[in-house]
Amino acid sequence: MFAASFVYLFFAVCAWRAGFVSLNGTAAWLDTSAEVGIVALAVGLLMIAGEFDLSIGSVIGATSILFAIGTNHYQMNPWIMLAMCFALGAVTGLVNGAITVKTRLPSFIVTLATNYALIGAALGFSRLLTNTTSSSIQTTPGVELLFGSQWGQANVAVLWWLALTVVATIVLWRTPFGNWVYATGGNESAARGAGVPTGFVKIVLFIVTSLTATLLGVIQAVEFHSGNAANGQGYVFEAPIVAVIGGVLLGGGYGSPLGVFFGSIIFGVITVGIFYAGWNTDWLMLFLGALLLAAVLANSYFRRLALSEG
């Protein structure tokens, strides 16, 4: 929270004349924070359990183009296509989780392979069926309300982000499943010996991660009235970066949804703040890299401190 406040005040001072603190400026960084935050929340929970998911980028692109092709080229009911999109996301997460749990291969490798396979399939089939990798979409008022509503410059992704943060916080801090997540990431062998269904926990979290990626893919498709098979690759590393900046340990066992929430704010403020300040956007990578390194060093220090005191 302190880091998010500091970053916001920094850009508020540097870019207030350009309108960074205006309603439009605030909506801009909230939108950016919300879109990365939706996926980063689930990625953060998965990292707490000791696993990674690099397939989120391809899930975002594949579901957005699936929705577009189904509604625009085949005139299918948007609600049916939504169900198909979320089914694709759930199956992708199930496959990632099942392979990781059954083979004990590193999830980094498993999901990286899934990422390439799925984006290849999305690009190949979309070009085969429509001769293009992007397409406009057709929706209904209900779909627009849930996934494309806007209030000025702010879009409905902000509400989804806030709601998911509340749900994730309750689940992680107030339910047995949340205790299982921490136990699985802290010491999987000990957790399994204590009766924690670690395989089940991981598979559920992989499915949830893919479903949040699907949600973001649908939101972006409805917001821009277009689906793109290659969309979403930037989130492959942005989401884990946000989670780590928010206090999630790379080794698992520690972190919180609120931390990821504030990490998303930091990402959004920096991304939009650099633009409003009139700086070259290439500086964004420098800021994120420095924050990521600082977060990793801080997390490592506090982990060692906690272990020494224990």
* pLDDT tens-place string over residues 130-168: 898 889 998 999 999 999 999 888 999 999 999 999 999
Do the domain assignments include residue 308? no
What confidence tier does 294 reach under pLDDT thresholds 50, 70, 90? confident
Q: 151: part of which helix (H) or strand (E)?
A: strand 150-151
Q: Is residue 40 part of a domain?
A: yes
* CATH at 72: 1.10.3470
Domain membership of residue 166 (yes or no) is yes
| Domain assignment of residue 306, yes or no | no
Q: Are 141 and 14 in contact (CB under 8 A)?
A: no
In a domain, 292, yes or no: yes
| pLDDT at residue number 308 | 64
Q: Closest by alpha carbon to 41, among 160, 192, 190, 176?
A: 160
Residue 307 lies in a domain: no
Is the confidence at residue 48, as pLDDT, over 90?
yes
Please report, as a single letter, which amino acid is at residue 34: A
Q: 282: helix, coil or strand?
A: coil
Question: pLDDT higher for 149 or 281?
Answer: 149
Tokens 């957790």, residue? 191
Q: What is the pLDDT of residue 190?
A: 95
What domain range includes position 56?
2-297
- Say what the pLDDT of residue 265 is: 95
Segment 177-200 mean pLDDT: 96
Give the model's pLDDT for residue 306: 56
Higher pLDDT, 249 or 86: 86
User: How many structural domains comprise the chain?
Assistant: 1
Residue 73 falls inside a structural domain: yes
What lies within 8 Å, CB to CB, of 129 at 6+ separation is: 69, 73
Task: Evaluate if residue 33 carries a pLDDT over 60.
Answer: yes
Is residue 118 situated within a structural domain?
Answer: yes
pLDDT of residue 160: 97
Task: Tell me what percent of the residues of the chain surpass a pLDDT of 90.
Answer: 75
154, containing H or E segment: strand 154-155
